[in-house]
Amino acid sequence: MNSMSQDQSTRLLLQIKDKNITHLRVSDTKRDALRVYGTLSYKLNVCPYCAQRQVVCNGHKTVYVRLPNVSERTVILILRKQRFRCKACGKTSIAQTPVVRRQHQISENTRHAIDKTLIEDRTMRSIADQYNVSTNSVSRRILALGKQTMPAYDGLPQTLCIDEFRSTSNQMSFITIDGQKHDIITILPGRQTNEIKQFFLNHW
């Protein structure tokens, strides 16, 4: 298989749609994880800080991104990101990709996979183990989804499920969901009885 065919096959298998990521190569030298090497680069004409057209390439920065598992194998994308420097203001920037958010190590596809798993009757530990992330990462996704959810304040569902979980900084938080639809009703940062009682009194 030539290098171009290998690149396309790897891109299809890992669902890497960003054409700016090139030279994909899979290394299977260790049993614990598949390591995929790639380079992220594109032409940057205007400085994002001062808007001057004096941007030059300035080396690379290597980041490690967790991709969804393949055949129950952990997949790590070792990505060389192009670094840029502006001659006018002297500031530097790094190439970005929709594959992973800026300053994050978990890919968008992995985050979406975790989100779908959250509706299942499973522990955060089992979800974290499946996607090779920490339980804190899973709890942060629960909190983030809770903030995005608009609670149905017009009435409580017939079946209400409540639980507590360890969220950020080892803090215990409160979550309640619709037991039939599995929709998140709300997530509270604490689990104290007075806080929970006050929430329900204020909204129902």
Q: What is the DSSP string of 26-77?
A: EE--SSSEEEEEEEE-----S-TTT--S-EEEEEEEEEEEEEEEETTEEEEE
Q: HSE on the CB side for 63, CA within 13 Å?
A: 23
Name the residue with tokens 């290998």. 6
Q: What is the pTM of this model?
A: 0.69
Instruction: Please report, in tens digits, the pLDDT of each residue of the chain (204 residues total).
Output: 555 567 788 888 898 999 999 999 988 766 678 899 999 999 999 999 999 999 999 999 999 999 998 888 889 999 999 999 999 999 999 999 999 999 999 999 999 888 888 877 778 888 888 888 988 888 888 777 766 655 555 677 788 888 887 766 567 888 888 888 777 777 887 778 888 888 777 776
Burial class of 20 by CB neighbour count within 10 A (0 to 12, 13 to 18, 19+): middle
Distance CA 102, CA 171 (A): 26
